[in-house]
Structure 1
Amino acid sequence: MRKFNINVNGTMYEVDVEEVGGDAPVRPSVQAAKPAPKAATPKKQTPKAAVVEGQVDIKSPMPGSIFKINVSENETVEAGQVLLILEAMKMENEIVAPQAGTVSKIMVNEGVSVNTGDQLVIIE
């Protein structure tokens, strides 16, 4: 018999495998071992800016990474103007201004990863 530890979806199993000669099938004996403690995964803390009345908070519609930022803070933008490019699933997605205004805060940098709902830009 040979013993192996096998991890299946985070649960460790101790497996005894009997060695046999010839072409006979291997008959494993499986016993559940104590589950390995899960390591705490650090959560990415994205700074959030408070949005006041009259400001528009533009959030990420999907997870991805910021490919290019086309505007700067204090820049005047028109409705429909491309603010930044979000790369997701090998596609470049244009994030546009929903209304005319002034960019008051850019919450991301090029190359950073974002999740759905993360703040990208605030327009007033």
Structure 2
Amino acid sequence: MKEYTITVNGVAYDVTVEEKESGSATPAPSTAVMAVPPKKSTGAGSIPIKSGTAGKVYKIVASVGQGVKKGDAVIIIEAMKMEISVVAPQDGVVASIDCAAGDNIESGALLATLK
């Protein structure tokens, strides 16, 4: 089994695919592939915090209701074996966290909002 993230019309889906054995005389039975639609963003605040790169949400640093200063880390993304901090674009209060640790995300995805 292998896991992939595919994008269809701008929407990312996590899929699991079973590989067939090579040289098999009979076709392997088809395996159902379950596509998980992305979470709907709540966008409770007016100031979006978006991902600058595709990757996986490694850690959520801030919590809803927490005050943050411009440049404070809100979420950490793991991409290409590096941890990348997604920071607050300005001072504010975290209004929503629109992702969870372990989520695969695309560049430009809404991760959180501030108010």
Q: TM-score, normalised by structure 2?
A: 0.65
Give the C-alpha shift of residue 111 in structure 1.
1.1
Q: Which AA in structure 1 matches 2:40? A: P
Choose between structure 1 and 2 for higher RCO, CA contacts under 8 A separated by at least 6 residues.
2
CA drift at 1:48 = 2.4
CA–CA distance in structure 1, aligned partners of residues 44 and 67 of structure 2: 18
* 1:23-102 alignment, distance < 5 Å: 42=35, 44-50=37-43, 55-102=46-93
Write the distance in 1 (CA, Å) between the matches of 2:44 and 2:49: 10
* Shift of residue 84, structure 1, vs aligned partner: 1.2
- Point out 4+ residue stretches in structure 1 off by more than 4 angstroms: none
Amino acid in the other structure paired with 2:66: E
TM-score, length basis structure 1: 0.60
- TM-aligned CA deviation for residue 50 of structure 1: 4.4
1 CA distance for matches of 2:104 and 2:67?
26
Match of residue 110 from structure 2: 119
2:39 corresponds to which letter in structure 1? T
Number of residues of Structure 1 aligned to a counterpart in Structure 2:
84
RMSD: 2.0
Q: Which runs of 5+ in 2 are unaligned?
A: 1-32
Question: Structure 1: which 5+ runs fail to align?
Answer: 1-39
- Distance in 2 (alpha carbons) for counterparts of 1:44 and 1:72: 24
Contact 2:51-2:109 at 8 Å conserved across structures: yes
2:56–2:103 contact (8 Å) kept in structure 1: yes
Matched-pair identity in %: 31
